[in-house]
Amino acid sequence: MADWTLHAQLAADTVNLGDLPLSRVLMMDDANYPWLILVPRKADLTEVIELDEAEQAQLMREVTHVARALRELTACDKLNIAALGNVVTQLHVHVIARFRHDAAWPKPVWGAAPAKGYEPAKGERITAELRRTIGLP
């Protein structure tokens, strides 16, 4: 993991929640949706299929762990989980809590509504709750 650095666009759009064994956990600074992103800390990755089988299983465990935490915290109607990467090619997995009343429902979130940064106190509260529920220091 020595040569890995987070892509500048991902860094600019998110708050860093901390690291799981394989992935960095980020929260999108978009109050439209509770929206996490996992980024495996391994250099030069663009596709899930470039991970070896043990790493893929670890990524799946981390996605599941984070998705359960997000659902527990938000009581969302649906989880959306996706590895797209058409724009930012560094491998990253979206884990998004969706609600029937949210800004894009039932469409996918990408490109649907302009990002709406969290009001600072609310952003701090939700990042603290997410860190605690995910088990990040």
Say whether residue 48 binds a second copy (CB under 8 A): yes
| Residue (50 or 119) nearer to a second copy, CB | 50
Is 79 in contact with 97 (CB distance < 8 Å)? yes
Tokens 């529920």 belong to: 133
What is the smallest separation between the CB atom of 64 and a second copy, expressed in angstroms? 5
Applying the rule CB under 8 A, the residues between 55 and 74 that interact with a second copy are 56-57, 59-61, 63-64, 67-68, 71
DSSP 131: H
Select from 19, 108, 123, 131 the one that contacts a second copy (CB under 8 A). Answer: 108
Most distant CA atoms of the chain, gap in Å:
42
Q: Residue 11, Cα to own-chain centre: how many angstroms?
A: 12
Rg (CA), the chain: 14
Q: Which amino acid, 121?
A: A
Say whether residue 128 binds a second copy (CB under 8 A): no
Chain positions contacting a second copy, by CB under 8 A: 46-49, 53, 56-57, 59-61, 63-64, 67-68, 71, 78-87, 89, 98, 105-108, 110-111
